[in-house]
Chain A
């Protein structure tokens, strides 16, 4: 009997307006705390996920040889370290480009990536054509499209001659957009 009475008062108390608002407050408080802690954790997690977009993308001049390394009228493969190598990148920090020497002071550098889907084009010296192994893209020696699916000419790098040194200005891997 005593027990039943207690339960009744308990129930009354449980549903009193004061109790209800207290309960609501506690519910909101607990959810608020959970949301706040999740939000705080999310900041570093999302930063890691989006890290590549949050980093700057520097472009650097890299030496690829001296003027005399490149005979007139030839196209040669040059390799260099990309602009932002991570200390642990090892061999993957390397990039390549095709360097053409037209005349004494005129150098043109082409990205090695086909503008179709990025595969590595190779220079066929005797045919004087760049050819892509993936889907049959072909380019003339000036980088314009000769045949196949590429939508635009090979991407060019800036080149400068500084005290007999030939330097290339690095760039991101050329990504062909939808408008090309």
Chain B
């Protein structure tokens, strides 16, 4: 039996040349690294394959129409066998891909592997990063719940800031003047056909370049890159020191990728897919759109940026970032590669990392959003033990007039404005009145919204908070 299979395989291999094609790729000489930091790129690739497979599986259960997609998602989540796990794998897979591509890019930057002759490796990699972000965003829309609908409106608004053609870009994204039947069909096509086609092409190019230019050797301080001599040096280096890619170098990649995929599956089984919000009805306005975690840093940036420069920043920010990413291998493609000898580059990468992580942390808290679900402040939570009727009225006004959505008193209320638990210590009655009547940049002026009596009661209550 074994002999027969061997015979069949030899015949197929002889007529197709599979091993002739694959063996040199598998065995190509690689630098003898003993580093676990070289595994992020291959892990991104493995997770992408996972995304393709689970994506195809989801498409067997999903209906890509504006009207019915939400119902089909409810079906996948609640009724289809392993449907929720499948959704979960695809969701955590997307998250993993974003993290891994980020780590891969950081590693490449830290070891300056983008320098000669690997500039095009970096550039195709930037394309892959952009495609991955686009996939993450459109994937979130395909959930097509209230979040999906409003996220697409938010994206259209951002495109609207592009000079001259902004309105057309927004219209193109939504598929018309408003959200409608055409919207989801387009998002589906972007997510399932157009962007994946781009990813396949650029992964092909990226891998071809890895073979053509060779895996970069781990940097050594003082060993400079000189475009005139590097290729000859690298060839000699490989001849003397290289190991075959498989299995000497690649076993780490396979173990790491497998562990990542196991983690994704464990998360999917135990945490499940993100819950659906309400139905995609654009006329239901009582909803609080929040993007998936990987979009939160952008979301946070738009809340924290000075409002005056926002329109311009919304347009120029992404353009400049993309331009900068593409230009990195042209800014410096030779010389030192060791991170120890490139302190400014390291400083930059640490700053970017801290910037993104802080935006993520503050964005998950979203202190700028009014807390519409705040419970009315109970009398037990105020400072005065025996409040008179004026103060009690003030407490009710504090909730009814929306103060509590943004101001906290003793664990009740939002975070947009200052905590008012002991505001009586900071501001006199007169100062409180002035602030309430006039408002501030991030606070409405309540002058026209409160009667004289209401203002007096509210001030009396706040002044008693000490």
User: In the assembled complex, which residues on chain B have CB atoms less than 8 Å from the CB atom of A113?
Assistant: 153, 157
A112 within 8 A of B: yes
Please report the C-alpha to C-alpha distance between residue A117 and residue B155 in the assembled complex, in whole angstroms. 8
Could you say which of B200-208, B222-230, B366-374 contacts chain A?
Answer: B366-374
- The verdict on A122 contacting B286 (CB below 8 Å), with A55-B176, A135-B302 known, is yes
Q: Report the nearest B residue to A59, measured CB to CB.
A: B177
User: In the assembled complex, which residues on chain A have CB atoms less than 8 Å from the CB atom of B445?
Assistant: 146
Partner among A131, A149, A151 whose Cβ is within 8 Å of the Cβ of B405? A131
Could you say which of A6-14, A33-41, A85-93, A160-168 contacts chain B?
Answer: A85-93
8 Å CB contacts to B: which residues of A41-79? 50-53, 55, 57, 77, 79
- Centre residue among A85, A90, A95, A131 by max chain B CB count within 10 A: A90
A140 within 8 A of B: yes
Contact assessment for B283 and A79 in the assembled complex, using a CB-CB cutoff below 8 Å: yes
8 Å CB contacts to A: which residues of B430-456? 439-445, 448-449
A138 within 8 A of B: yes
Contact assessment for A95 and B283 in the assembled complex, using a CB-CB cutoff below 8 Å: yes
Please report the C-alpha to C-alpha distance between residue A93 and residue B66 in the assembled complex, in whole angstroms. 9
A26 within 8 A of B: no
Q: Report the nearest B residue to A49, measured CB to CB.
A: B172
Please report the C-alpha to C-alpha distance between residue A87 and residue B381 in the assembled complex, in whole angstroms. 54
B311 within 8 A of A: yes
Contact assessment for B181 and A134 in the assembled complex, using a CB-CB cutoff below 8 Å: no
Contact assessment for A177 and B166 in the assembled complex, using a CB-CB cutoff below 8 Å: yes
Q: Secondary structure at chain A's binding surface: helix, strand, loop or mixed?
A: loop
B327 within 8 A of A: no
Q: Count of chain A residues with Cβ under 8 Å from any Cβ of B? A: 59
8 Å CB contacts to A: which residues of B257-295? 279-289
8 Å CB contacts to A: which residues of B312-361? 312, 315
Partner among A127, A147, A175 whose Cβ is within 8 Å of the Cβ of B443? A147
Q: Report the nearest B residue to A173, measured CB to CB.
A: B178
Contact assessment for B449 and A136 in the assembled complex, using a CB-CB cutoff below 8 Å: no
List the count of A-B residue pairs having beta carbons below 8 Å apart.
205
User: In the assembled complex, which residues on chain B have CB atoms less than 8 Å from the CB atom of A175?
Assistant: 156-157, 160, 166-167, 170
Q: Report the nearest A residue to B287, measured CB to CB.
A: A120
Closest Cβ–Cβ distance, residue A61 to chain B (whole Å): 16
User: In the assembled complex, which residues on chain A have CB atoms less than 8 Å from the CB atom of B156?
Assistant: 118, 173, 175
Please report the C-alpha to C-alpha distance between residue A112 and residue B168 in the assembled complex, in whole angstroms. 21
Q: Report the nearest B residue to A87, measured CB to CB.
A: B181
Please report the C-alpha to C-alpha distance between residue A91 and residue B68 in the assembled complex, in whole angstroms. 9
User: In the assembled complex, which residues on chain A have CB atoms less than 8 Å from the CB atom of B213?
Assistant: none
Partner among B160, B171, B282, B299 whose Cβ is within 8 Å of the Cβ of A95? B282
Closest Cβ–Cβ distance, residue A77 to chain B (whole Å): 7
Interface string of B406-449 (1 = CB under 8 A from A): 10000000001000000000000000000000011111110011
Partner among B158, B171, B178, B449 whose Cβ is within 8 Å of the Cβ of A53? B171
User: In the assembled complex, which residues on chain B have CB atoms less than 8 Å from the CB atom of A32?
Assistant: none
User: In the assembled complex, which residues on chain A have CB atoms less than 8 Å from the CB atom of B160?
Assistant: 175-177
Contact assessment for B444 and A178 in the assembled complex, using a CB-CB cutoff below 8 Å: no
Please report the C-alpha to C-alpha distance between residue A95 and residue B311 in the assembled complex, in whole angstroms. 26
Contact assessment for B402 and A127 in the assembled complex, using a CB-CB cutoff below 8 Å: yes
Contact assessment for B302 and A149 in the assembled complex, using a CB-CB cutoff below 8 Å: yes
Contact assessment for A117 and B157 in the assembled complex, using a CB-CB cutoff below 8 Å: yes
Partner among A86, A89, A135 whose Cβ is within 8 Å of the Cβ of B369? A135
- Centre residue among B158, B178, B439 by max chain A CB count within 10 A: B178
Contact assessment for B282 and A92 in the assembled complex, using a CB-CB cutoff below 8 Å: yes
A108 within 8 A of B: no
- The verdict on A88 contacting B67 (CB below 8 Å), with A82-B177, A127-B401, A147-B443 known, is yes
User: In the assembled complex, which residues on chain A have CB atoms less than 8 Å from the CB atom of B179?
Assistant: 92, 173
- Centre residue among A80, A95, A119, A175 by max chain B CB count within 10 A: A175
- The verdict on A127 contacting B400 (CB below 8 Å), with A119-B289, A149-B302 known, is yes
Closest Cβ–Cβ distance, residue A141 to chain B (whole Å): 9
User: In the assembled complex, which residues on chain B have CB atoms less than 8 Å from the CB atom of A158?
Assistant: none
* 16 A-B pairs (CB sep. < 8 Å): A55-B176, A77-B285, A90-B66, A95-B178, A117-B302, A118-B153, A122-B285, A133-B372, A134-B154, A134-B299, A138-B370, A149-B310, A173-B170, A173-B177, A177-B163, A178-B315
B interface residues (Cβ-Cβ under 8 A, vs A): 65-68, 149-150, 153-154, 156-158, 160-163, 166-168, 170-172, 174-184, 279-289, 299, 302-303, 305, 307, 310-312, 315, 368-370, 372, 400-402, 405-406, 416, 439-445, 448-449
User: With A94-B283, A95-B283, A120-B287 given, can you name 11 additional A-B contacts, CB distance below 8 Å?
Assistant: A52-B176, A57-B176, A80-B283, A90-B65, A134-B289, A136-B416, A146-B439, A147-B441, A173-B170, A178-B163, A178-B312
